[in-house]
Structure 1
């Protein structure tokens, strides 16, 4: 868990993203238990319902599953689902705006590729 939360983003989203990052980075693997809502609440001194909101979104997305009386665990296909989701987000938030800006600046696709490789256009 990160030591500090960002005031500019909802806490439940930060908890969700933290868990997603831990899964993508293999800090949490399939069938591994994730911290409970109470553990998040105690660590960050927040309401357990706030932590639960982020965790419940991951359950709804098929990233986590509940073992009654034991806790929440990472699904077998969580990492693959998250990588696919992040790829789509990456294209939408970074690649498309980059291409649009390059077009406005009359930067050719070849020049853009060279820039991305660290070569000057």
Structure 2
């Protein structure tokens, strides 16, 4: 034996097409999602890699848009939800998410300022 552990293959059945899918857990970094039009038709399968920075940005936008408290990221229920649905996302503390939200606000404020300074926007 060469000292390498045996490869564990995880199998599951697709709920949509009932095809048996085998996955090597060492290489499961790619995420697959079904994307459809607004009416739920024309479904297609897309793949993408997890992006921590994009996840943090979306978390900031959610907190701002839904007027949630910064300490939401420390709620047990929210942490369980995130751990189940996106285990790769490293949830920041409430102080860090506050800093991220303020930074996002200032960036968007600068973008708006530049937009309204364009010629013809008098």
Q: Shorter chain as normaliser: what TM range? A: 0.3 to 0.5
Q: Which has the higher strand share?
A: 2
Q: Which has the higher helix share?
A: 1
Larger radius of gyration: 2
Q: TM-score, normalised by structure 1?
A: 0.39
Q: Work out which structure has the larger RCO, using CA pairs closer than 8 Å and 6 or more positions apart in sequence.
A: 1
Q: TM-score, normalised by structure 2?
A: 0.38
